[in-house]
Amino acid sequence: MKRESNPQIEAQPGSAKAPALVTPGEVVQSAFRIIGEVATTETGTVFAAHDMLVERDVALKFGWRDQAPGQILAEARRCASVKDPCAVLVHGIGSHRDIEFAVAERLTGKPLREMLGGAALSPAIYLRRLRQIVAGVVAMHDAGLAAGDLSSHTIWQCNDGRLVLGRVSLSQVPAFGPDGAFITPEIALGHVEAADPAAAESGDLYHLGCIAIELSRGAPPFDGNFAGLQRAHAYDQPPRLIDLRADLPSELSDLVAWLLEKEPAARPRSAADVLSQLDAVIERQGVTKRSLRVLVIDDDTGRARWLSNITRRASSQVIVETAHEGTEAAHKLNRDQPDVVIIDATLRGVMNALELCMYTRSLESTVRTQLVLFGEVAANDQAVLERASVAYVDDDQRGPDAILDIIRRAAASITVSPRAKRTTISG
């Protein structure tokens, strides 16, 4: 699957209803003793059973009597194609009274909503749970599948802490929450259809932001009836993670806000990119590698913080310092010899952005420093900046991705040819 987009990603299936066919105590294929019904789904009925041959509990999903053949096989293959613990293990396929069925592991544990129980997760457990879900979505996208509705209703927590996503549970876990619908801002506004495969991947990213909020407080970003939820997803601003949980890393709050952008094009490029950024946040808790020093220069305090958090998400090696005007920036350039300097293109004051770039290039100690201007650059300045090897990044929807790429490349380069050890700065 292409990381940028995948027009072939499979959306959620449609609905069909028909009666089931086995009863408790019945033995199927001289091997599986039916224990009881687990769930009725749009594609069939799931039963708990005991495999008498190998002495293990299993789940059997039977298709409907009147549905076209091959649907249960396709669902089993879909689960088997996902190479991650988020998907159930499929043991086999069979037929009973001319009705197709699949055999899979029987899930133990409870729905995630019951496990949350309204109690706040510790930061370590929160990050571990969120990473499991993001990694599961990455694995599904790698298999060309959409994760669909992600919430505490559609995620199962096993007794060992493993999380299983509803769409690859062989329907032991619901694929949709109580509203029975997949809602994103673009769907609520009528810009795309819920079943549109081209919108599936971006919708999954939005729902990762929703589950990140729900994990933090035990409730999704919005609540209410279906019509109210549609309006809220379309127009209301979700809560900020940092306001809900000040004990979680601030750069994680910015990542979640990015996932929850109303415009699909403004969200991260892919779930794999989100996982990479999340891993950087997690690894930072105990990082021992040589640090990548980044200096962010911006007279807007809020924007400086936003740029700082973007750079931190790129790599666990990053240590960020900020400066808000030219004199302070000059002092930190001389003192810290940063690897990367990001400058607001609209910076004014003692030294404007162009003057600060030229000053940095004049310092012998920063000859290898990478300079990046963030924002609109005047046409008559571009030739000067290019001669000084200054990159510039537009302040648009793709700006954060460009910054992430620059920082990642810089972090990779220092592992190959590190500089001499210098005093660590705090950021």
- 151-195 pLDDT, tens digit per residue, is 999 999 998 889 999 999 999 999 998 888 889 999 999 999 888
Strands (E) across 250-302 are located at 292-297
Which residue do the tokens 């789904």 mark?
Answer: 41
pLDDT at residue 263 greater than cutoff 60: yes
Same domain, 62 and 136: no
Structurally, how many domains does the chain consist of? 3
Q: Is residue 426 part of a domain?
A: no
Question: What is the rounded average pLDDT of the residues 217-232?
Answer: 92
Provide the token pair at 320.
Answer: 């960020």
Mean residue pLDDT across the chain:
87
Question: What is the rounded average pLDDT of the residues 227-240?
Answer: 94
pLDDT at residue 17 greater than cutoff 60: no
Q: Which domain covers residue 218, as residue numbers? A: 110-277
Same domain, 244 and 386: no
Q: Is residue 223 part of a domain?
A: yes
Binned at pLDDT 50, 70 and 90, residue 10 comes out as low
Identify the CATH number of the domain in which residue 393 sits: 3.40.50.2300
Which amino acid, 399? G
Same domain, 354 and 227: no
Domain boundary (59, 90, 105) is at 105
Same domain, 123 and 268: yes
Domain boundary (48, 82, 105) is at 105
Provide the token pair at 376.
Answer: 């609109």
pLDDT for the residue numbered 286: 63
Q: Which residue has the higher pLDDT, 316 or 203?
A: 203
pLDDT for the residue numbered 367: 74
Identify the CATH number of the domain in which residue 73 sits: 3.30.200.20
CA 17, CA 387: separation in Å to the nearest integer?
Answer: 68
Same domain, 168 and 203: yes
pLDDT for the residue numbered 20: 53
Provide the token pair at 73.
Answer: 């096989």
pLDDT for the residue numbered 361: 87
Question: What is the rounded average pLDDT of the residues 105-123?
Answer: 88
Q: Is residue 117 part of a domain?
A: yes
Q: Is residue 127 part of a domain?
A: yes
CA 134, CA 267: separation in Å to the nearest integer?
Answer: 15
pLDDT for the residue numbered 232: 94
Binned at pLDDT 50, 70 and 90, residue 424 comes out as very low
Same domain, 273 and 311: no
pLDDT at residue 420 greater than cutoff 70: no
pLDDT for the residue numbered 246: 92
Q: Is residue 423 part of a domain?
A: no
The answer to which of 38-47, 170-179, 357-366, 396-405 has the lowest mean pLDDT is 357-366
CB count, 10 Å around CB of 362?
10
pLDDT for the residue numbered 70: 86
- β-partners of residue 61 are 46, 102
Binned at pLDDT 50, 70 and 90, residue 276 comes out as very high
Domain boundary (277, 306, 339) is at 277
Q: Is residue 8 part of a domain?
A: no
Same domain, 122 and 78: no
pLDDT for the residue numbered 180: 81
Provide the token pair at 244.
Answer: 């809900």
Q: Is residue 22 part of a domain?
A: no
Provide the token pair at 302.
Answer: 């809020």
Q: Is residue 335 part of a domain?
A: yes
> Global pTM?
0.78
Taking CA atoms, 128 is separated from 86, 132, 207, 272, in Å, by 13, 6, 17, 16
The answer to which of 82-86, 121-125, 380-384 has the lowest mean pLDDT is 380-384
Taking CA atoms, 81 is separated from 7, 87, 201, in Å, by 18, 9, 17
pLDDT at residue 287 greater than cutoff 70: no
Which residue do the tokens 């403004």 mark?
Answer: 266
Same domain, 158 and 252: yes
Share of the chain above pLDDT 70, in %: 91
Question: What is the rounded average pLDDT of the residues 406-420?
Answer: 69
Same domain, 173 and 257: yes
What is residue 324's DSSP assignment? S
pLDDT at residue 406 greater than cutoff 90: yes
pLDDT at residue 421 greater than cutoff 60: no
Strands (E) across 5-143 are located at 27-28, 32-41, 44-51, 56-62, 90-96, 99-105, 110-111
pLDDT for the residue numbered 289: 59
Taking CA atoms, 294 is separated from 304, 322, 370, 387, 421, in Å, by 12, 8, 9, 22, 15
Same domain, 258 and 368: no
Same domain, 164 and 188: yes
Measured in residues, the chain has a length of 427
pLDDT for the residue numbered 7: 40
Question: What is the rounded average pLDDT of the residues 59-65?
Answer: 91
CA 40, CA 42: separation in Å to the nearest integer?
Answer: 7
Same domain, 35 and 171: no
